[in-house]
Amino acid sequence: MGEKNIDAVDKIRAQWERERPDLDGTAMAILGRLGRLMMVGTQRVESVFTAHGLQRGEFDVLAALRRSGDPYELNPSNLADTLMMSRAGMTGRLDRLEKAGLVRRIADTGDRRAIKVALTDRGLKLIDTVVGEHFENETRMLSVLSDQDREHLDRIIRVLLADLER
């Protein structure tokens, strides 16, 4: 691959090696780079949402409704569970999205006491545009890696995540 790029993590690791040569900084370096990758990557991902006037959480709600399939509606509790958030937090997001005309609350035909949240036509059009740009953006972000490198990275991350989530 050519010459190794020295980054901030290398500098920190070198300092620890100088001060505590008894410690192996390999894991710290890998996790430090993963943390930095998440920070920089999140900024790039969210730039697509903000270009369309959405916050990350609002995108998440619209995307969950869109991928639920036609008629693009879910009850608020299922939405909150899907997005791993509180019911109160979901209510705030839904209020903002409803005010923007992107979702509407409708009566649940199966339970007259309950409601469902549905994408409006405007919300469907917006999420289809944004999710297309989002996928293109993420693909572009990983384009520096070969197909084989992306497959290896995915496998490695799966193994680590499965172990850490146990």
Does residue 42 sit in helix, strand or coil?
helix
Which residue is it, tokens 């299922």? 78
132 has a pLDDT exceeding 80:
yes
The pTM score is: 0.86
Q: What local confidence, expressed as pLDDT, does residue 1 receive?
A: 45
Architecture of the structural domain at 52-164: Orthogonal Bundle (1.10)
Q: What is the mean pLDDT of residues 110-138?
A: 94
Q: Which neighbouring-strand residues pair with 104?
A: 118
Q: What is the mean pLDDT of residues 90-105?
A: 94
Residue 32: which residues within 8 A CB-CB, separation 6 or more?
9, 12
Read off the pLDDT of residues 73-83 as tens digits, 9 standing for 90 and up: 999 988 988 89
Q: What is the mean pLDDT of residues 42-62?
A: 96
- Residues of the chain above pLDDT 90, percent: 80
Q: What local confidence, expressed as pLDDT, does residue 3 receive?
A: 56
Name which residue leads in pLDDT, 1 or 42.
Answer: 42
133 has a pLDDT exceeding 90:
yes
Q: Which neighbouring-strand residues pair with 118?
A: 73, 104
Could you state, in order of their start, the residue ranges of all structural domains in the chain? Answer: 1-51, 52-164
Read off the pLDDT of residues 10-34 as tens digits, 9 standing for 90 and up: 999 999 999 999 999 999 999 999 9
